[in-house]
Amino acid sequence: MKLFPRLFSRKIEKQISSYQQELIETHYCEVENMYRQIRGWRHDYRNHIQTMKAYAASGDWESICHYLDLLDEDLTTLDTVIKTGNPMTDAILNSKISLARAKGITVQADAHIPVRLTSSEIDLCCILGNLFDNAIEASLALPEEQRLIRVYMDMKNTQLYISFTNFTAGRKLTKMGKRFQTTKGEGHGFGLVRIDTIVEKLDGYISRGSEDGAFTTEILLPQL
């Protein structure tokens, strides 16, 4: 009689391991894509300088100004906007911010982590990755001009504080037990479960809030 629970437990553990690996590989691909773009821009740097020198030699200052505006716009899409002090957090946040902006979503991020975290990179990757994926998915249901994700991370004494807020197209969600009811697919619900499981494992705290047009998640993770 005990065989079935053991087999079921092994199946769940295998699914979780597979999900974690898939999530990490996705994040690393996003990071690699971002740095590939940066390397490409650096490669073109000499060409940009030569073009502006040619405009300057002919006294075409209007063309120089226009060219600089184009470069500034191009750099905005490549800028590594977040430097938290923690390399793994930088990689995850910057890759997801780059992905969100590519989908026409405005991201306002403020993150400061001037200490070495005790939370594992895999756990942090899963939490931040799922929070961003859910926020991006919800944002895509809105017109582009209304899409917004706010991210705030900082140390509160010995705990890492994480806050995600995104605008939504729907009304206030109904809470079912500890979680809000979702009409999304199985993967979405599994992502929420993974976040809760990791927070519980780390003796952390999580709070979700839903209002008309907005959804917020707050997390505290001890770093002792």
Distance separating alpha carbons of residues 206 and 196, to the nearest angstrom: 7
Task: Identify the pLDDT of residue 187.
Answer: 47
- pLDDT-derived band at 79, boundaries 50, 70, 90: low
Distance separating alpha carbons of residues 179 and 195, to the nearest angstrom: 11
More confident residue, 216 or 126: 216
- pLDDT-derived band at 146, boundaries 50, 70, 90: very high
- State the average pLDDT over residues 46-63: 84
Residue 216 pLDDT exceeds 60: yes
Going by C-alpha positions, the residue among 111, 84, 127, 98 that lies closest to residue 38 is 98
Residue 63 pLDDT exceeds 60: yes
pTM: 0.66
Q: Which residues pair with 108 in a beta bridge?
A: 150
Instruction: State pLDDT tens for residues 154-191.
Output: 999 999 999 999 998 876 655 555 555 555 544 456 67
Burial annotation 151-190 (CB, 10 A radius, 16+ → b, else e): bebeeeeebbbbbbbbbbeeeebeeeeeeeeeeeeeeeee
Q: Percent of the chain having pLDDT more than 90?
A: 28
Distance separating alpha carbons of residues 95 and 38, to the nearest angstrom: 12
Other Cβ atoms less than 10 A from the Cβ of 52: the count is 16
